[in-house]
Amino acid sequence: MNQSPQPLAIMVQGTASDVGKSMLVAGLCRIFRQDGLRTAPFKSQNMALNSGITPDGHEMGRAQIFQAEAAGIEPDVRMNPVLLKPTGDRHAQIVLMGKVASHMDAVSYHDFKPRLREQIIGVYRSLAQEYEVLVLEGAGSPAEINLRDRDIVNMGMAEMAACPVILVADIDRGGVFAAIYGTLALLQEHERWRVKGVIINKFRGDVALLTSGLRQIEALTGVPVLGVMPWLDIDLEDEDGVALQRGKYRHTGEREITIAVVQLPHISNFTDFNALAAQPDVRLRYVRHPDELENCDLLILPGSKNTLGDLHWLRECGLAQAVVQLHHAGVPVFGICGGYQMLGETITDDVESHMGRQPGLGFLPVETIFAPQKTTTKVTARSGTALPGWLAGARDIPLSGYEIHMGDTTRHEGCRPALWLEKQGQRMADGAVSEDGLVFGTYLHGLFDSDAFTRAVINGLRQRKQLPPRPASFSWQDHKAQQFDRLADAMRSHIDIDKIYRIMREHKEPA
């Protein structure tokens, strides 16, 4: 174990976005934990709509949350001090140390970044005092030369942390050697010195076919290739919606229950549905067109970072009318967070989209008014005792999850709550269930991480199709642990982990 007051550190950067940095960081966190080292992930700036809540109520990127889980520790907002949540093509909500600080356009934020450097350095050093290994993650590519002068997340962060860098390249998208060579060529000399190794990721085929190319790229760049990772069918979280663009779930085998999730333009926290997709009898698909809803057994409206904008999109593309038709055909509809707000009668937003008062879809007798203060908290809960017949098996089940929302929603008199939350020592109603029992809305993210609740919902859907129930034998937590271990095993088999240890231990900053 490292006895130095300074922890070991390594940074994973990529030749582009979505090359697998987040997954490899999680794998390194798992490996170092398996080797008995207290390890933490760190990403100074994350741009993502998938976020979660720390035990003390701070918001941070989901990628660093699942990396912390891989390391066997609780998430800490210091692992992701800056979170950018896009609200449109050019604007984002700025979350600093887990709390909303501002809304900015891209140019304004670029001008603002230098003011964050000292805070990021302080946060990193604070975290470094508590762990033996830190695994840092970059964002996009360090070769984005237009952003280099104010960089706080790639080479700028590596310099602040005084750590070596491993460069990851995705061979599945093609042009891998050009991506490696071009990235290194665009770095400044003192930045290239910091890159101590390359990992080629997502390879399909016989690695022997790459041998000559590996030798040539090492000779051309002077940087060793530490390994070639094969394409892995690992069921772990994706950082953001890029995964949905390439088709996140490709199920094999017979799946008797089909669940459709509307892929909103500003979809957030689609990780809510990973536990559903992992169920052995569920086919989960993301849909953007009305004709994709055919034969679905449950429709879910997910969270959104622009609720009224996405509601307008639902109407424009015909999905709003398709949801109405599904409901009339007796198909259940769930709404989570922003999706719950859309299912109500009205939404008033003078805070986020500034679109004022707009009609909702009208399935639930509730009204939502956006508030400037964002609710961010972890909660425990129980499902309602008055859930409809098809959800009878889901009644009064203990749950846990988190809330992230800007709106306050009020139920009309007589409307049944979906859940009962325990917050600040008080029992509070959450969500709503329609009178016909087919529409269910809640603010609780992570609802389906509860094995008992999820199996009860699926068995309710099975009952509606006159299928026998399946036992609640699947454990989502055990499944995730197995996936982390599979990832670590694959990385040990295909990457020179001993060399990574040597890189960390032998690294010295220039005098």
Determine what percent of the chain is predicted with pLDDT higher than 70: 96
DSSP codes, 112-177: HGGGGHHHHHHHHHHHHTT-SEEEEE--S-TT-TTTGGG-SSSHHHHHHHT--EEEEEEGGGS-HH
Q: Which of 296, 337, 405, 494 is catalytic?
A: 337
Q: What's the pLDDT at 219?
A: 97
Q: Are 399 and 381 in contact (CB under 8 A)?
A: yes
Span 333-355, pLDDT tens digits: 999 999 999 999 999 999 888 88
Between CA 494 and CA 27 the distance in angstroms is 12
Domains and their CATH numbers in the chain: 8-44+110-236+482-506 (3.40.50.300), 257-466 (3.40.50.880)
Cα–Cα distance, 159 to 441 (Å, whole number): 47
pLDDT of 487 over the 70 cut: yes
**Mean pLDDT value across residues 89-102:** 89
Contact, 377 vs 53, CB < 8 A? yes
Binning pLDDT at 50, 70 and 90, where does residue 240 land?
A: low
Residue of 121, 197, 213, 211 lying closest to 158 (CA atoms): 121
The stretch 301-310 carries a mean pLDDT of: 94
Bridge partner list, 370: 407
CA 231 – CA 331 distance, rounded (Å): 37
pLDDT recorded at residue 1: 41
Residue 214 CB partners (closer than 8 Å, separation 6+): 200, 225, 228
Query: What confidence score (pLDDT) does residue 510 get?
Result: 87
Per-residue confidence at 138, pLDDT binned at 50, 70, 90? very high
pLDDT digits (tens, 9 = 90+) for 423-468: 877 899 999 999 999 999 999 999 999 999 999 999 999 999 999 9
Asked whether residue 241 carries a pLDDT value surpassing 80, the answer given is no
Residue range 10-38, pLDDT digits in tens:
999 999 999 999 999 999 999 999 999 99
The confidence band for 147, taking pLDDT boundaries of 50, 70 and 90, is confident
In the residue annotation, 445 being an active-site residue is answered as yes
pLDDT, one tens digit per residue, over 379-420 is 999 999 888 889 999 999 999 999 999 889 999 999 999 999
H or E element: which one contains 95?
strand 91-96
Question: Containing H/E element for 123?
Answer: helix 117-128
pLDDT at 88: 75
Q: How many angstroms separate the CA atoms of 393 and 457, rounded?
A: 7
The single-letter DSSP state of residue 172 is G
Strand 419-423 and strand 366-383: pairing? Answer: antiparallel
User: Shortest CA distance to 364 belongs to which of 441, 457, 442?
Assistant: 441
Residue 405 is a catalytic residue: no
What six digits make up the tokens of 233?
A: 């069918």
Confidence bin at 253 (pLDDT 50/70/90):
low
Q: Is the pLDDT of residue 163 over 90?
A: yes
Q: Name the active-site residue from 58, 327, 405, 445.
A: 445
Helix 176-186 with 211-221: angle, nearest 10 deg: 10
Q: Give the containing element (helix H, strand E) for 186.
A: helix 176-186
Please determine, for residue 511, whether its predicted confidence score (pLDDT) is greater than 90: no
Mean pLDDT in residue range 56-83: 96
